[in-house]
Structure 1
Amino acid sequence: MKKLLPALAVDVVLVIVFCAIGRRSHDEANALAGLASTAWPFLGGLAAGWLATYALYRKKFDALSVVPTGVLVWLTTLVVGMLLRVVGGQGTAFSFILVAATVLAVFLIGWRAVYAAVRARTTR
């Protein structure tokens, strides 16, 4: 349980960073309200991913694992995030889906992979 909150916090920060980078790359105005508008679908997807992963792997849940946690959280964040964007009247162009899939994978799976590599190296 002590690993749960820090891992969740890292995921939340990285989803917000993803949204901030996207807004910045398009020179979007209205910084705080705009960031909230862009981030809420993906934060909703992130919450769904965490809940689903925990429910599926309750007995063996490891917030720091690449598989299944990182992969399931990434996929759910992406899919639910895009669905919520549609519901919210926001765009889901194919190129945006590809960029979001790539960046979110690097962020949500990547930090867990780096953590696992560092942990394995330090335990040798």
Structure 2
Amino acid sequence: MRRPVLLLVDLAAVVAFAVIGRASHAEDLAGTLLTAAPFAAGAAVGTLVGRSWRDPLSWRSGLLVWGGAVVVGLVLRAMVTGRLPLSFAIVATVALGVLLLGWRAVVRLARHAARTRVTR
């Protein structure tokens, strides 16, 4: 996969988080982009701080993107809504971690398996 595509997977993961969250609360999907926006902005901050485009599959990149998405996303969301329920912060942290680190783990495992098959 090319690096720009890999970076877009982070955006897709953040949008998936918003879609799943809104669907679980029986909210319409029309507001998905508004829900995702603060977390996408945070992921972008994490990407810039960590220069994740250099090695988007690294755990370091994943942790910085996740950290940015959570910290910046929760702060922006609290500023917009005027509140930040602890339960939402916990769920957002865990869900974004699973999504943003999970896809990296899957790709790394798939690449490792492919290399292992080739060398046997």
Question: TM-score by structure 1 length?
Answer: 0.85
SS at match of 1:7: helix
The yes-or-no answer on 1:117 pairing with 2:109 is yes
Structure 2 residue runs of 5 or longer lacking an equivalent are none
CA distance in 2, matches of 1:83, 1:68: 22
Residue among 35, 38, 52 paired with 1:38: 35
Q: Which residue of 1 aligns with 2:93?
A: 101
Q: How many residues are aligned here? A: 116
Checking the alignment, whether the CA contact within 8 Å between 1:45 and 1:78 is kept in structure 2 is yes
The residue number in structure 1 matching 2:3 is: 4
- Identify the range of structure 1 (18-27 vs 83-92) with the bigger mean alpha-carbon deviation: 83-92
Q: Aligned match of 1:64 in 57, 69, 72? A: 57
Residue number in structure 2 paired with 1:23:
22
Gaps of at least 5 residues in structure 1 are: none
Which position in structure 2 is the counterpart of 1:47?
44
What is the TM-score with the length of structure 2 in the denominator? 0.88
> Identity over the aligned pairs, expressed in percent?
39
| CA-atom RMSD in angstroms | 1.7
